[in-house]
Amino acid sequence: MKVALFITCFNDTLFPGAGKAVVRLLERLGCQVEFPFEQTCCGQMHVNSGYAHEAGGLHERFVRVFDEFEAVVSPSASCVAHVRERIPSIGPRVFELTEFLIDELGVVDVGASFPHRVTFHPTCHSLRLLHVGDRPLRLLREVRGIDLVELDGARECCGFGGTFAVKNADTSMAMLSDKVRHVLDTRAEVCTSADTSCLMHIGGALSRGRTGVRTMHIAEILAAQE
């Protein structure tokens, strides 16, 4: 299957390792992965900030760039949710990674091995807009050597919410404190998720607290063969 990687501007700028992991994983599973260099922001940030009209050009560009591909895969649940809602002409062909692996490739065991204690934070967009359900957990449970620990309050927002964390910093930090407490209670070595934006938020607090807990995108774990 010919697949395009929609990296998203957030990953491209701050977490390129997540995109590289997606490529390694999909190629291992037999996909032909291409990266259209013409891709730009999908417009989510603009729409969420009240500039829906200004995002129109980005929506049109997205279609031009990705229209030739039978599937577009992204390591960002929030950006996929935006495309599905705002660009219906191509939305059905755009997939969050765990959706694509299970629903399109029909794979649960991706051949990964990761002998570490891990907890999973399900993001708001993946839960409430994409409805990915337990797909990420089903994939993680098949990783060899993993010690997957349930996260209390998993469905609660971490407090990031894009510009919400800037506009409502005090509320955001209170929510973040609750999330970090639950992560630390698991005694996990790694906190993983399907959105690096949430992981940046959580990871910043874990780092500032010198907790020793690291964050990794789920693609990096599924691509691992330790």
**Is the Cβ–Cβ distance between 36 and 66 less than 8 Å?**
yes
- Range of 35's domain? 2-104
Average pLDDT in the chain: 93
Q: What is the pLDDT of residue 49?
A: 82
Same domain, 79 and 21: yes
Asked whether residue 122 is assigned to any structural domain, the reply reads yes
Cα of 201 vs its chain's centroid, Å: 13
Rounded Cα gap, residues 177 and 183, in angstroms: 10
Convert the pLDDT of each residue in 170-224 to its tens digit.
Answer: 888 899 999 999 999 999 999 999 999 899 999 999 999 999 999 999 999 999 9
**Residue 116: pLDDT over 90:** yes
32, amino acid identity: Q
> Of the candidates 70, 104, 138, which is a domain's last residue?
104
Ranked by mean pLDDT, the top range of 133-142, 157-166, 193-202 is: 133-142
Asked whether residue 110 is assigned to any structural domain, the reply reads no
**pLDDT band per the 50, 70, 90 thresholds, residue 226:** confident
Rounded Cα gap, residues 158 and 57, in angstroms: 31
Rounded Cα gap, residues 198 and 181, in angstroms: 15
Among 124, 75, 204, which residue's Cα sits nearest to residue 215?
204
Convert the pLDDT of each residue in 11-40 to its tens digit.
Answer: 888 899 999 999 999 999 999 999 999 999
Rounded Cα gap, residues 154 and 220, in angstroms: 20
Paired tokens of 158: 């971490």
Paired tokens of 55: 């995002």
